[in-house]
Amino acid sequence: MSAVDPIWKEIREDFPALSELTYLNSAATGPLPRPVTEAANRFYGELAKGGDTHWDAWRQRAEEVRAKVAAFVNAEADEIAFVPNTSTGMNIIVDLLGASGAVLSDELEFPSVTLPWIHRGIPVHVVPAIEGVLRIESFQAGYSPRAATIAISHVQFSNGCRQDLAAFGQIKSGRNLVVCGSQSLGAFPVDVKATDIDALATAGHKWLCAGYGAGFVYVSRRLIDAHPPRTVGWLSVEDPFSFDNRQVRLLPSARRFELGCPSFAPIFALGAAVEYLSKIGIERIAERVLYLNEYLTFRLQRKGLNVLSPGGENRSAQTLCEVPDPPAAAAFLREKGILVTPKPEGVRIATHFFNSEEEVESAVRALVEYVQVHSHP
Ligand SMILES: Cc1ncc(COP(=O)(O)O)c(C=O)c1O
């Protein structure tokens, strides 16, 4: 299956949203493929008909999802906890690592990567971007402010700048490496072991196409063993059904971070999404999204529009295109059924694997028209 294989056309039929919309907005929220909706609906059907008769089966199914999610990022199942969103995962990580000291992050970050540290009074040093690019040298020990932890997004929400996680793993030099995968997981492969990531938090509702509430956090075995969690619930312990009110015997796995009864529907949606993406193949998806992104960038530039996202090694599946009055531009496109996100400098266009060259063309046409209308009202 190559980046231009006809199979990509067939895949579109799995996404009901695509018959209604030109959906170039997975960087905000990904539409659901049918198997994901079916997994969540199946759970609600079982709950509606049987109450908690399926509790044991659901618990078992959740563990199967945990194993699939772990394989997706090359972690151990014991290192994965289900969380509703990035912010929850990041707070779990910060509770484990905050006492270690200052953090090195950067100015392109989405705030869920930085605020949980700042809120706890932990200094966060902000690396500047140079022409929209975060350079690995800026994070190198000796060239950057001293820090116990590097906290970065794999792909930046602001301009799509993609980092080479393997390079970060190589230069971390005794520091913890914490990664936000919300703008990359589902579009690009991540291997937490090969890249020496200590902890990773992600939402499920963007490129993973799993819907809201379907995030997860990876915490390496080393960190689980080294630091007790700040928060626990009744299911964080070894034998929850002994209902022991006198002592906390923590589970040895990342399940200790999950507070109370599981959110089964989003967990099953996440499992179906990871299975769906894995069947296509994450390497193939990465090839496809990069191809579509390059195609979009080329077409925009040919029409004289300015692309603010970095290319080359830092290219991702997001393109920030400079336009006057970005909210008006996004509204103009929306009128035509084309969904993108307004940003301060322009509109962010996200090309996921299910998007087509025709959709890219119609977005380019609409932007050209918008710029003409805007400059000669
Ligand atoms: C890099 C990044 N992290 C996290 C989020 C979302 O955070 P949360 O999952 O906590 O809502 C976004 C966008 O919404 C994002 O772009």
- pLDDT given for residue 144 in this prediction: 86
Exposure letters 224-250 (e unless 16+ CB within 10 A, then b): beebebeebeebbbeeeeeeeeeeeee
Q: How far is the CA of 282 from the centre of ligand 1 (A)?
A: 21
Report the atom number in ligand 1 closest to the C-alpha of 88: 10
Residue among 90, 110, 320 whose CB has most ligand 1 atoms within 8 A, to mutate? 110
Strand partners, 319: 349
Residues with CB under 6 A from ligand 1: 85-87, 110, 112, 153, 157, 180, 182-183, 203, 215
Q: How far is the CA of 241 from the centre of ligand 1 (A)?
A: 35
Q: How far is the CA of 111 from the centre of ligand 1 (A)?
A: 8
Residues 315 and 87: their CA atoms lie apart, in Å, by 25
Residues 215 and 88: their CA atoms lie apart, in Å, by 9
Residues 243 and 99: their CA atoms lie apart, in Å, by 31
- pLDDT given for residue 1 in this prediction: 60
- Half-sphere exposure (Cβ direction) of 310: Cα atoms closer than 13 Å: 20
Q: How far is the CA of 373 from the centre of ligand 1 (A)?
A: 33
Report the atom number in ligand 1 closest to the C-alpha of 85: 9
- pLDDT given for residue 374 in this prediction: 87
* Residue ranges, the chain, pLDDT below 70: 1, 377
Residues 106/128, Cβ–Cβ less than 8 Å: yes
Residues 214/204, Cβ–Cβ less than 8 Å: yes
Report the atom number in ligand 1 closest to the C-alpha of 157: 16
Residue among 88, 112, 180, 212 whose CB has most ligand 1 atoms within 8 A, to mutate? 112
pTM across the whole model: 0.97
Residues 158 and 88: their CA atoms lie apart, in Å, by 21
Residues 18 and 343: their CA atoms lie apart, in Å, by 23
Q: How far is the CA of 73 from the centre of ligand 1 (A)?
A: 18
- pLDDT given for residue 3 in this prediction: 76
Structure tokens at 186: 């589902």
The region that residue 281 occupies, defined by phi over 0 for left and psi between -120 and 50 for alpha, beta otherwise, is left
Residues 370 and 349: their CA atoms lie apart, in Å, by 15
Provide Rg for the chain, Cα atoms. 21
Tell me which residue of 208, 221, 86 sits closest to 153, measured CA to CA.
Answer: 86
Ligand 1, atom 6, lies closest to the CA of 86
